[in-house]
Each structure stands twice: as C-alpha cells, then as structure tokens.
Structure 1
Amino acid sequence: MNETDVGAQLTVLAVDDEKPALDELAFLLRAEESIAAVHPASDATTALRILRSTEVDAVFLDINMPGLDGLELAGILSNFATPPPVVFVTAHDDRAVSAFDLGAVDYLLKPLREERLSQAVQRIVDLAGRNKTTAPAAVAPSDEVIPVELGGVTTLVQRSSVEWVEADGDYARLHTPGRSHLVRIPISTLESRWADAGFLRVHRSYLVSLALVTGIRTVGSGLVVSLRAHGDQPAVELPVSRRHTRELKDRLVRAPKQSWSAR
C-alpha cells in the first residue's frame, strides 16, 4: 500500500464461526498496514453486540454460519443508519449474486490469498476516503469494481470500462474494449445497480452504456442501437426491443451532450 493508505487506520470486524478460519482472517487483517484494530466474532449475535458498542469501518463476514448466516446478518446491517461496508469471505462461489444484491464491497473465496485480501482492504480505504471528502449532496456514483475469478486468477473490472452487458442465463458477460468477462450476476441485477451510472436495458439480453451510444437505426421491422467503435474494431450494434424503444429514445433526447441519430 502507498503512504496515503497507511494513515487510514481502519477498525474492522471479522466474523466466522470456524475458529481456524477466524484466526487466519484476523491474522491477515492485522498484517494490513491500514488496519489499526480487528474485532473477531464467532457468530452473528456476538457481531451485533460488538457493533452496538464499537464503531467499525468494515465487516469481513463468512456466509455459512449457524443461527443467522452471513447474508442474513448483512441484511440486518443494511438497515443501520450508517451501514458498514461488508466484504464476504466464503468457501462457496455460488452466493455472489445474493452478496452483491446486498451491496457487498467485495467477495473473497477461501482459501484466502493475501493479495486479494489487500485489494478488498484497499477498496475499504478508498471508500472511507470518499465518504470523508465527498459532500452529502454529491450524486455522482462511484466507479464500482467487479471481481472476476477465472482459474484462480482475479481480474478487477471497473464499471466505467464496461460498454455493454450480455445476458447468459444466471450469468452476465461484461464487454470491455477488446475483452469480455463472465460473472455470476444476472443482468437484471446489474440493470438496477447500474441505472444511476447511465446504463439502460435495451433488450431482454442487453444492457448498454448510454454514454457510448452513437445512433439508433431501423433494420427491417425493428431497431438497433450503435455503440462507439474502438480503433480498428467495428462498431457494435445491438437489437432494441419494442418495450424498451421509447425509454431509450427519451433518455437519449434528455442527454444534451449525447450525439446520436435515428435513421
């Protein structure tokens, strides 16, 4: 971490019902220079008791626990007046959709890798910094980062780099310049999460960044939307369903800086 990060001095809560896993998580968190204190808890009840008496900057939370599980605890935390950021730490990769629906900052898979934990901590540091420096009236959404796990390698994909999203069953394929990334998040979830960031559903299978739309045109009996080309790559054209046509046109008309045409 850089020097500006070291001064953050976060207080975090670590929750896991398995003692070896909790001890390892706490040990790795304490090794992070930006973390000043780690409060361990072996169940949700203890975690809530700590939260009532201690102000924490983030919660690192296991999912599968007896009693209240991690997702249920995160749901309770989301109702706090100032919800703490939550990072899920779990051995199961099939709960990411539910985790991100609850607003999780990150989703780490066991066994923990130090570099991935450091990335999650850095995101907490960045989030804490934005909360201190951003005026309450600010409405610009932060640039969300989506962790993509493939073959044990994690790629962090910034939302601002995503041009369009393609539905693939319960998954979504994020299309960035020259690449695509498959994530276990339904397109409907991204539609609601990214609406304020300028993404619009144009078809049951497609979600696009309005900032990249260069035109809409008629093809046969339907419409297609064109996205900005990159270098020698051809422009992308995606179908627009009838039910989404009016909203697409209305959104483009309301965007004075958006250059587009309907042919």
Structure 2
Amino acid sequence: MLTHPPLKVLIVDDEPLARLRLRGLVEANEEPRAEVVAEAGSGDQALVWLRDHACDLILLDVQMPGLDGLGLAEALRGRPFAPAIVFVTAHAQHALQAFELEALDYLTKPVRRERLQGSLARAAQRLGERAAAQARDDQERPSGADTPVINITERGRLLRVPLSEVLYFKAELKYLTLRTATQSHVMDGSLSDLEQRLGDRFLRVHRNALVAKSAVRELERHVPTEGPADADGDTAGELGWAVRIAHVNEWLAVSRRQVAAVREALAGQR
C-alpha cells in the first residue's frame, strides 16, 4: 500500500492556547496524517519562517497584531509552490475576502474535529494533484525542449534568466539576489520554494544561500565575521567553512550541517 508523507502544517495565531488546541487536533487526525512543523504568533513571524522553510498548509488566524492573516495571504499569493491556506477565526465576516485570496477553506472557532479533517483532506488532495501535474509535465517535455528559465520582474520589465546561467540565489532582508557570471538581479520569493522547484541541480549550503552545484569550485576553512551564533548552529568567531563560486570568485558561508553535502557535490564533479 502506498503511503504518503504527512502534511507539513504551519499554525499562525496570536493566542498560544488557540495554537495549542489546533496542534492537538492536527496531530490527532488519522487520515490524512499531518504534523505541525512550526508555530508563529503573527503574520510577520510567519513570513520570516517561510523565507527559509516550506510547508504544505497554513492554519491562519485573521485578526492579529501587525501583519494580519489577510495581509499574509496576500503576501504569499502568486508564489510558486505557495502553501495552501485555511483561515481559522472567530469572525465569520471575513469569509468572502478570504476566498477572494484563494483560501482553501474557512473554519470558525471553536474548530470542530470533523471540519478540520475535511480541510486537511482537501489540502492533501491539492498537493497530490500538484505533484501529478508536475510529473505529467516532466514526462511530456520533449528532449531538447527550451532551456528552463527564471522569470524576474525588475524595474517594470520582465527578464528571463536561463537557469544554466545562475550561480546562486542568496536571501537578503526581504528579497532574493540571483547571481550570474555578469549580473546580479533582485527578485521576490523564498529559497525554500526554489529548492523544491529546482531539484538536484542546486544545493542549499546555508540557510541564506542556494548554489548551483556546477558553480562550486572549492570548499575551504574560513574565519567568519564577528556576530551572534546563527540559526544553523555556527558560533561567532569559530573557524567555519565557505565555498568559492566559479566565474565571480565570491565566497559564500557553508553551515556545519551542510559541509558533508558540499563535499559530495564536489566529489561528483570529478
């Protein structure tokens, strides 16, 4: 019997007790299986998490301080491989606006187990349909088809950058930098989305960098700049690792957990 991995769920609600109850309902659901991979107390916190991570479904409160649920949904709208969104709120008056933002479902608090199960089932179905469509596209693409490209909107114009020219993607504050041998471009999106889309051709070397394997020329010990320990567990002042990128001779930091994968990538190019 074919088994599917559990749905990865992000819960976004400014009330800790509401998050706790939702977590219990999600993880008690038998079919489809689902796991809570993270929680956030605001839309802003969720956006920060989504820059470096991916999930299948967001259970999203509407009214929160700062960036509210509707604002977060709008910010994610149109992203490739964006997670499905199910609004969970005590205020039913936002339902129409929620569905205009292409929400998968709209649940009112207190959430009933049966209603949540239905939402999880729809999310699993959508994920399966997306995977099947991608598989069909891969099978139907003829050999010698056009080179894959990355589309970028920059200063009012659409640029098509061949994927074969991309050396790396790097996450900055609220955007990504795409680097080729001759230019740097600023683009929207998240590294997690790109990592899923691009497959084995690219390698995540650090939480803020996705590098073309063919562009990695050297792995070397480097003394990092001063600063606090980062989310990858690398300690400030500690001798770390970095990779040299072909054509531009730039060095990008490598987290300790990714050193082995970078070594494998280098070995595979010999």
Instruction: Provide TM-score, normalisation by structure 1.
Output: 0.48
The TM-score with structure 2 as length reference comes to: 0.47
Greater relative contact order, per chain length (Cα 8 Å cut-off, separation 6+)? 2
